[in-house]
Amino acid sequence: MDVNFEGELNSEQLAAATAGDGPMLILAAAGTGKTRTLVYRVAYLVSQGIEPDRILLLTFTNRAAKEMLERASLLVRSATGIPWSGTFHHIANRLLRRHASLLGYQSGFTILDQDDSRKLMSDAIKELGLKSKEFPKREVLLHVLSQARNRQRPLDEMVEDHFDGFEVDPAPVLAAIKRYEKRKVELGAMDFDDLLVNCLRLLDEHPEIRQRYARQFQHVLVDEYQDTNTIQSQLVDALSSEFHNLFVVGDDFQSIYGWRGADTRNILEFRKRYPSAKIYKLETNYRSVPEVLNLANVTVGCSDHPEEYRKTLRATREPYRCPTVARLRDGDHQARYVVELLRNFRRDGYRPRDIVILYRAHFHAMELQMALTRARIPHNITSGMRFFEQAHVKDVLALLRVLSCATDALAFERLLCLLPGIGEVSVRKLWIKLGERFDASDPAARAALAEALRPAARARWAAIVPVVEAYYRSGLSVNGGEVVQRFLDAFYASHAATAFDNPESRVDDIRELSLHFGKFENVEQCLSDIALLTNLDAEADASGAGDAESIRLSTVHQAKGLEWPVVIVLWMVEGMFPSQRSLDESGGGDAEERRLFYVAATRAKDELVLCVPEVRRSRDGGVFYCNPSRFIDELPNEIAQTRRIGFIG
């Protein structure tokens, strides 16, 4: 391995990447080569003779994990790359599969995704007879539970806090949540939070296990450390407890996931926990023109962020031109203006993929979506709906789950509901009749099921049976992709044709899924891997092509870590950005919104346009005047050029 560290890194990056042992905090401002530094750190460690399997590299997203691994493997040029590299949930899953029995789980435990969790919580609420308009929604309950677990706070306290000032009786709320938790254990399943919670439990309750892994991981590296929550930071601490070679990288000013339990204190108080920690700052920005950085620096400057952590972005690019603040009349005017802008940028030579439109919440882009469609401008929206949570994908996965686990009640229900005349109630009865389990490998169980079905359903079920039989005949060696393909041909394609208004694209998705599954040896592996992935689109995006000809519309959250030459931000008005809901929430809402705006602005390489409509129209024709966002108001004149946009069309 011959990496030229001096030649390929600037002095800030070099100092961090080639530092000695001990705990280290790298504060990397936006666009300063954070990933690069982390990747070269890995390469440096390997060049110093550290075995790759003694390095633990933790990231948050699959996207980051993939990028990191690719770049590191390239530098290290080892066939195995970095074997212990992945998302927190991935690594936790790996440890739990090995040692689940110590915690009373089977190593083949199912992972519940958000959809499953929602279902389970709904059931819990219904079973306790709490379903009413006044009772908090299942999402709220799941949120409170998740916060309590991720922040490691007692549940009753968290419930009290969350409903403080509202007329909500905590007792039934707690009862529903406990019922949910109990049900999960009965199913032998873990939700996303369980993976982390149980992994930490494993390390805490079994010192010999902790020691084994802490001794293995001579170096622990963490990306996006500002987004860690309490439990994740404890996991990191436990896994680095033998060598204390902890290398964490992050930007406290890009922490935008507080509402999911991320705790900036992890990064801000790193020195408190690790008094010997060295701090390195990366402030040289390679991404943006100086005018954009000036704006970002003003936004940071107006905050009450701790001095020690302040970073001032230093530009390396040539001066270009100021960001624009566009004053507009209303949402429709904004939409027409953006369409016009897009044409101008196209004329200037930017390609569609060079441009992104960002907003605080999905529905802020409503008018624009319609305008783009009318103007026939191709665009794609990174919507809230994730690939693996779409109905058709979950349907197909349900079959695999039924094949691999006889007690997966959720999957059984989902699969059987595909049959005509079978709904939730019938499935419940059926499940109990079958003894609360369905072992698909057992011909007697299959016969019992067919027997119990009414004629119409039985006829459709008959189409699925051969797929199941073929799977077991093959001795389980057939891969998940083939099972999916057979299921699609024998049953699902025709089901899709009657159930959806866009069956073609759904069938296409399933074909793609089938191909994806071809990589895995068995069905269990497919399921375990897929549960921790959120979409295939991200992979398709990364491989380029595809949607190069469309303009991307995205929330600011989803744009984190990415960059575009042209960035247009919609609805920069009080109440929308910053969002009112966020401001109303106790604790740091304002500060987090500010950081979010900072993230939005620093995505821009060349051009940044901030749209400020004057009024909002409601559905019933009402008109509200809105004030420009505080983040716009506080910008001095020389930082951004304000333009009053006349009426178009």
Partner DNA sequence: GTTGGGAGAATTTTT
Partner DNA sequence: TTCTCCCAAC
Closer residue to DNA (CB): 423 or 546: 423
Closer residue to DNA (CB): 272 or 619: 619
Amino acid at 548: A
Closer residue to DNA (CB): 22 or 83: 83
Sheet holding 604-613, edge to edge: 379-381, 551-555, 355-359, 564-569, 604-613, 324-328, 641-644
Closer residue to DNA (CB): 65 or 214: 65
Closest by CA to 599, choosing from 210, 29, 213, 10, is: 29
Closest by CA to 487, choosing from 519, 510, 508, is: 510
Closer residue to DNA (CB): 71 or 557: 557
Closer residue to DNA (CB): 76 or 356: 356
Give the shortest CB-146-to-DNA separation in angstroms.
8
Closest by CA to 649, choosing from 337, 330, 365, is: 337
Give the shortest CB-363-to-DNA separation in angstroms.
5
**What distances in angstroms separate CA 375 from CA 330, 546, 566, 612, one per listed residue?**
19, 21, 20, 22
Are residues 611 and 368 in contact, defined by beta-carbon separation less than 8 angstroms?
no
Amino acid at 419: L
Residues making contact with DNA (CB under 7 A)? 60-63, 87, 89-90, 114, 118, 122, 133, 137-139, 192, 224, 227, 257, 259-260, 262, 360-363, 366, 369, 382-386, 390, 417, 420-427, 532-535, 555, 557-558, 560, 579, 581-582, 585, 589
| Paired tokens of 379 | 């665009």
Give the shortest CB-637-to-DNA separation in angstroms.
29
Are residues 403 and 442 in contact, defined by beta-carbon separation less than 8 angstroms?
no
Give the shortest CB-68-to-DNA separation in angstroms.
12
Closest by CA to 218, choosing from 246, 195, 194, is: 246
What DSSP string runs through 114-145?
Answer: HHHHHHHHHHHHHHTT--SSSSPPHHHHHHHH
Give the shortest CB-200-to-DNA separation in angstroms.
15
Closer residue to DNA (CB): 241 or 534: 534
Closer residue to DNA (CB): 111 or 328: 111
What DSSP string runs through 528-571?
Answer: HHHHT---SHHHHHHT--TTTTSEEEEEHHHHTT--EEEEEE--
Exposure string for 517-531, b = 16+ CB within 10 A, e = fewer? beebeebbebbbbbb
Give the shortest CB-319-to-DNA separation in angstroms.
33
| Cα–Cα distance measured from residue 631 to residue 635, given in angstroms and rounded to the nearest whole number | 7
Give the shortest CB-417-to-DNA separation in angstroms.
7
Give the shortest CB-62-to-DNA separation in angstroms.
3
Closer residue to DNA (CB): 195 or 400: 195
Closer residue to DNA (CB): 216 or 390: 390
- The number of residues making up the chain comes to 649
Closer residue to DNA (CB): 420 or 443: 420
| Cα–Cα distance measured from residue 309 to residue 37, given in angstroms and rounded to the nearest whole number | 19
Give the shortest CB-152-to-DNA separation in angstroms.
16
Give the shortest CB-518-to-DNA separation in angstroms.
21
Give the shortest CB-282-to-DNA separation in angstroms.
19
Q: Which residues pair with 355 in a beta bridge?
A: 566
Are residues 289 and 258 in contact, defined by beta-carbon separation less than 8 angstroms?
no
φ and ψ at 221, to 5 degrees? -120, 135
Closer residue to DNA (CB): 139 or 205: 139
| Cα–Cα distance measured from residue 464 to residue 244, given in angstroms and rounded to the nearest whole number | 54
Q: What Rg value do the Cα atoms of the chain yield, rounded?
A: 26
Give the shortest CB-334-to-DNA separation in angstroms.
16
Q: How many CA atoms lie within 13 A of 89 on its CB side?
A: 19
Give the shortest CB-635-to-DNA separation in angstroms.
22
Closer residue to DNA (CB): 289 or 422: 422
Are residues 493 and 509 in contact, defined by beta-carbon separation less than 8 angstroms?
no
| Cα–Cα distance measured from residue 117 to residue 176, given in angstroms and rounded to the nearest whole number | 13
